[in-house]
Structure 1
Amino acid sequence: MARTILITGCSTGIGLDAAQTLARKGWHVIASARKPADVDRLKASGLDAVLIDYADEATIASGFDAAVALTGGRLDALFNNGAWAVPGPLEDVPTAALRANFEANLFGWHDLTTRAIRVMRPARRGRIIQCSSVLGLVGAKYRGAYVATKFALEGYSDVLRQEMAGTGIDVVLIEPGPIDTPFRANAISQFERWIDWRASARRADYEATLLDMLYKGSDGKMQWPASAVTTKLVRALTAPRPRARYYVTTPTHIAGVMRRALPARLSDWLLARS
């Protein structure tokens, strides 16, 4: 029988590339997205698809049940993917925005993960793959809300990996660096929803640099295709004994070294100039 995997965040970018690639490799892919129109588009492309919005507990429950029904009760792997950011200095991020960011980037992942474990545990096999980030290894200013969710995911996954030892369920982190996805466009919409930059004590900073950083992006800086993440995902899914972490892109490898080897003050100085 084909191996089965549920992949979240499949409307674009990393999730879409992973779903299409694994389907071509013979996996039974259940793709999910948080908007009904995207679910319909995924179905039209030939994929099985369900509605899951990490910020909506009801869709997590109904979407997961629908996914398991499509696989006949089996689930070999879960790829938690799909997250968004509230960019801006932390002093300008409302608590409600931070809470919403954690709901979408961590709490919803926990809900879906525990449901997957309950299916995988009786079979004594399974892979839970978490799409983290280079910003789960090192912090970067003006990205604090997102960084906080990814640091939390790193710790969560490390503990879950230890707790799953002996169950046949492996827990793996994939840590991309700069990937060419619509992530920045989504961040802009969250910024415009939550951040009142005109009333900020740092308004001059926004006008001098921060708005350009957000709206113009990292022109000239290298970005890797979503397929670079899929390549590491395939390794994490097929390795007899997967690693705890898979780095994707050169910046992630550099960040890993910085986290392990450099004093915090020196890392701060380097990150400020990157």
Structure 2
Amino acid sequence: MTRKSILITGCSSGIGYDAAHALHKRGWRVFATCRKQEDCDRLTREGLESFLLDQSDTDSMSAAIEEVLTRTGGTLDALFNNAAFGFPAAVEDVPTDALRSIFETNLFGYHDLTRQVIPIMRAQGHGRILNCSSVLGFVALRFRGAYNSTKFAMEGLTDTLRIEMRGSGIDVILIQPGPITSKLRENSIPHFEKWIDWRSSARKAEYEQKVLTRLYEERGPDTFELPASAVSDKVWQALTDTNPRARYKITKPTYLMAVFKRLLPTRMLDWLIDRM
């Protein structure tokens, strides 16, 4: 039998890296993509099929899709939109161009790549599209406004697409991690340094007391943090369940926040989150 194939974005580290290797070991043909050639070369040496894909560049995405179709003979069974970045900042300190930049990768890239994949899946009569969201896709944390907003928007877009794809053979699924071991914090530093003038902020003291320490100091795992393999297990489940769920939650904070979001008044939830 022909191996099922999946295209995964953001495979240089963290969730994408672990998912690529985990699915490869389970017999899937994995196309593990990255933004940098050196990361692709490293994954290739590790036994994966890897090539460039930048979710902020339409031409790069189109070239990656063409590469997939050339290698598979025109099919693709699944897409895992995973690549994303964040940076900590108060909303009032986020320049609009910075917001455009993060939306380009975290939302518009998902949308563009998904639109390119749907015709392939529609023609073959089946497919699964997995979008990596976050606990921050349905609850907001202070100093996470840019990232929050991309994930909230992505959840709305994904929910709509899931409804629209009913009867097409294409399942659209949200993966909702919480604290997962990754390089998200480390990778946010260049974006923070590029965009955020925290020294001139009215919240300078808060940056010094809360943000900079967390951003620059290695503090070990967060409370309830799970390894990236916990996400890979749910990705596997989402790909293989006969009737996949709309959402696959991961980590205790994600489950707890979903309950709090449903049961608590908004002001009470705000009070609770503000003390975390």
Pick the TM interval, shorter chain: over 0.9
Residue by residue, what CA displacement relative to the aligned partner does 1:201-252 show, whole Å, maximum 9, x if unpaired? Answer: 1112222322223223665623100000000000100001100000000000
Q: Do residues 8 (structure 1) and 9 (structure 2) align? A: yes
Q: Give the letter aligned to residue 259 of structure 1.
A: K
2:213 is matched with which residue? Answer: 212
Question: Aligned pair count?
Answer: 274
Task: Provide the rounded CA distance (Å) in 2 between the counterparts of 1:153 and 1:92.
Answer: 23
Question: What fraction of aligned residue pairs are identical, expressed as a percent?
Answer: 52
* Contact preservation (8 Å) 1:5, 1:27: yes
1:65 is matched with which residue? Answer: 66
SS of residue matched to 1:10:
coil
Residue by residue, what CA displacement relative to the aligned partner does 1:129-185 show, whole Å, maximum 9, x if unpaired? Answer: 011000001000000000000000100000000000000000000100000001100
Task: Provide the rounded CA distance (Å) in 2 between the counterparts of 1:105 and 1:34.
Answer: 14
* Contact preservation (8 Å) 1:50, 1:67: no
* Contact preservation (8 Å) 2:7, 2:32: yes
1:101 is matched with which residue? Answer: 102
1:246 is matched with which residue? Answer: 248
1:193 Cα shift?
1.0
2:227 is matched with which residue? Answer: 225
2:270 is matched with which residue? Answer: 268
1:29 is matched with which residue? Answer: 30
1:86 Cα shift?
2.3
* Contact preservation (8 Å) 1:7, 1:29: yes
> What is the aligned-residue RMSD (CA, Å)?
1.1
Task: Provide the rounded CA distance (Å) in 2 between the counterparts of 1:213 and 1:88.
Answer: 12
1:173 is matched with which residue? Answer: 174
1:147 is matched with which residue? Answer: 148
1:50 Cα shift?
1.7
SS of residue matched to 1:161:
helix
SS of residue matched to 2:210:
helix
1:54 Cα shift?
0.7
1:237 to 236, 239, 245: 239
> Mind listing any 5+ residue stretches in structure 1 that lack a counterpart?
none
TM-score by length of 2: 0.97
SS of residue matched to 2:33:
strand
2:85 is matched with which residue? Answer: 84
Q: Do residues 19 (structure 1) and 20 (structure 2) align? A: yes
> Mind listing any 5+ residue stretches in structure 2 that lack a counterpart?
none
Task: Provide the rounded CA distance (Å) in 2 between the counterparts of 1:143 and 1:132.
Answer: 14
* Contact preservation (8 Å) 2:128, 2:173: yes
Task: Provide the rounded CA distance (Å) in 2 between the counterparts of 1:15 and 1:74.
Answer: 21
